[in-house]
Amino acid sequence: MVYLAYRRAIRGKLEGMSYTADFLDFIAASPSSYHAADEVSRQLSAAGFEVQDEGTQWSAAPGGHVMVRGGAVAAWYVPEGADKNSGFRIVGSHTDSPGLVLKPTPDFSAAGWQQVAVEVYGGALLHTWFDRELTVAGQIVTKDGTRHLVNTGPVLRLPSLAIHLYRKDEFKPDRQHNMQPVLSVGDPEASILQVVGEKVGVAKQDIASFNLITADAARGEVFGAGEQFIAAGRMDNLSSVHASLEAMKKAAEEYQGKDILVMMAFDHEEVGSSSRYGAGGPILADVLTRTARALGANEEERFQMFSRSSCVSADAAHSVHPNYVGKHDPTHHPIIGKGPVTKINGNQRYASDATTVALWEAACEKAGVPVQRFVGNNDVPCGSTIGPITATRLGIDTVDVGVPMLSMHSAREMVGERDQVWLAQALEAYLVG
């Protein structure tokens, strides 16, 4: 028995190491929401999913399908025997993360320095963006209408002001004047758009428009005693995008039921979700409605399909911080390394209710995954997710979950290696049923 327990522990460790390596590769390949959506589509296409063009006849043929819209990506798996009496099992997440978005005219100079004009995107922890080498990533569109994905590699830096010149107890950078990265010094011709264009073989003057954001250029790392932690940028919410991607790939190989399995990774969650690519927009409704119609459902039957459906909104959760324990509810202390977190809020900042919590935690139990619960301290406001938006727009039962995290919205966040594996396993169990 001791030997078998040892073998299981070793096998679990090896599986975790493989998963973590894949996860870090995924983060490195996803410096922007556009890259994340493209990487999900690439991996699912390699797994046999057919790419759906929105401008052509919608397919609900048995098998996997994937569609990219901007920085959002949707995938759906239609099993043999699926019809208008089926439901949808949905895992929702988001591809975007806080950062510094390049302004339309990004190049400017100050005191001999060439800098890049940026706008703060989302609720970034501003102090964490200083003294890091930053890549510029996203999409550019050339004058001929061609779209290019670009990732410059380390090209910018936001240098701190020396303490000798500051002498203040608390660092509060001015968002307009203190958050503009440096590109070069003494070179008036230096231009970030020139750098971006050269990366994809496009002349600066041929760039018509762009959506570009900064990201930490450093690769994610495993650290801590026993290598139990992962530090990387953009894990809010690539932690959930990657876990749902892995769950979808495995579920598509083993699912035996009649429900349609859906992976939906939205863009623009960090700025309110109100866009064509966000949870407040039409993308998920479009996927579900067109799939239902392709299966022969009329409007009434589509609503019936929605009533048989459920959604797991997967987004990062707050781990207890050992240096700020008082910020957490004293009776709810989720912590890194103890499993995925069920997120509950009486004021509906999260969509979880008794029915959906029971559904999710049953999936965790089936997968052999430990589960924790989070509720906020009454004196500390909590964030929200795509969960309440999805539930409100579609009327589909929804639960909010995520891996426990420290340093949320930092340029470099922290999660537990085991929690990532467990989240993927629990999502797979939910999809398979």
Burial class (CB in 10 A: 0-12, 13-18, 19+), 323: exposed
Which residues have C-beta within 8 Å of that of residue 373, sequence separation ≥ 6?
A: 332, 334, 341, 342, 343, 344
Sorting pLDDT into bands at 50, 70 and 90, what band is 371? very high
Residue 92 in this model has a pLDDT that exceeds 70: yes
User: Cis peptide before 237, with omega less than 30 degrees from 0?
Assistant: yes
* Residue 245 reports pLDDT greater than 70: yes
The model's pTM: 0.94
In this structure, are strands 372-374 and 341-343 parallel, antiparallel, or unpaired? parallel
Is residue 139 predicted with pLDDT exceeding 70? yes
pLDDT above 60 (res 9): no
Q: pLDDT grade, residue 381 (50/70/90)?
A: confident
**pLDDT tier at 16 (50, 70, 90 boundaries)?**
low
Instruction: Flag whether pLDDT at 4 surpasses 80.
Output: no
- 3-state percent breakdown (helix, strand, coil) of the chain, nearest 5: 35, 25, 40
In this structure, the number of other CB atoms found within 10 A of the CB of residue 133 comes to 13
**What CA–CA distance (Å, rounded) separates 33 from 21?**
20
Read off the pLDDT of residues 157-207 as tens digits, 9 standing for 90 and up: 999 999 888 877 778 899 999 999 999 999 999 999 999 999 999 999 999
Q: Which domains, from first to last, does the chain contain?
A: 1-97+233-432 (3.40.630.10), 99-216 (2.30.250.10)
Please, are residues 292 and 304 in contact by the beta-carbon 8 Å criterion?
A: no
Instruction: Give the mean pLDDT of 372-397.
Output: 94
- β-pairing verdict for 341-343 and 99-110: unpaired
Averaged pLDDT of the chain: 95
